[in-house]
Amino acid sequence: MFTQSKNIDTAFRHIKKFSLLLVTGCFLLCGFVLYKSYELSVRVQDKIYILAGDKAMEAYAAKRKDNIEVEARSHITIFHEDFFTLDPDEKVINANITKALYLSDGSAKRQYDNLKETSYYSGIISGNISQQISIDSIAINIKSEPYLFHCYATIRIIRPNSVVTRNLITQGYLRNTSRSDHNPHGFLIEKWETIENKDIKTESR
């Protein structure tokens, strides 16, 4: 009688331990599944598809801080290309300058106004002159905002009878702003100035 009761008590303890282990295992399994599901959903949200014609290309979203230097260089490059790429067409000049001014503060507008007052753009149009810029390098300090940068570039001024090559160095600061259609990188160039803009060589055409 006592032996049977002892066996029942032992079996009950075993069942109790087994039940606790089973419940604990279920909780751990549920936690693991929830964690992996969340991890997968985060990865899926970072994945985007870009449609190019009839093809879908896979891309991954990244935090701004991961690409800040790349975006900053691209912003500076686009600004300088828009500001300094000129052709003897008033509409082309106005379109390029307008796009450039969206990427900068009043310092760029002042340089544009100064050039306009000296009839620089009128000379481009009347002289059938084209101006092209090639960015050589961009040095930028992203350790503290606003970010100081120096842009080193070469300008080619193509006239009917000659091609003038000029060395251009500019500097300014970048600060973060909201992204928009006109400013996709979300930067604004401030205190922009030309440090050097001198002729290197002149070639006959």
For residues 131 and 129, give the distance between their C-alpha atoms in angstroms, rounded to a whole number: 7
- Cβ contact 61:68 at 8 Å: no
Nearest C-alpha neighbor of 129 from the set 88, 97, 163, 91: 88
pLDDT at 78: 96
- Cβ contact 104:79 at 8 Å: yes
Domain boundaries, the chain: 2-48, 64-204
Q: Say yes or no: domain 64-204 is CATH 3.40.50.1100.
A: no
pLDDT at 73: 95
Q: pLDDT per position in the chain (205 positions), as tens?
A: 445 555 666 766 777 777 778 778 787 887 888 777 777 665 555 555 565 565 555 555 555 566 889 999 999 999 999 999 999 999 999 999 999 999 999 999 999 999 999 999 999 999 999 999 999 999 999 888 899 999 999 999 999 999 999 999 999 999 999 999 999 999 999 999 999 999 999 999 8
- Residue 74 makes CB contacts below 8 A (sequence gap 6+) with 185
What is the pTM for the complete model shown?
0.70
pLDDT at 51: 59
Left (φ > 0), alpha (ψ -120 to 50) or beta: where does 97 sit?
alpha
Buried b (16+ CB within 10 A) or exposed e, 111-125: bbeebeeeeebeebb
pLDDT at 23: 77
Q: Degrees (nearest 5) of the Cα angle 65, 69, 74?
A: 125
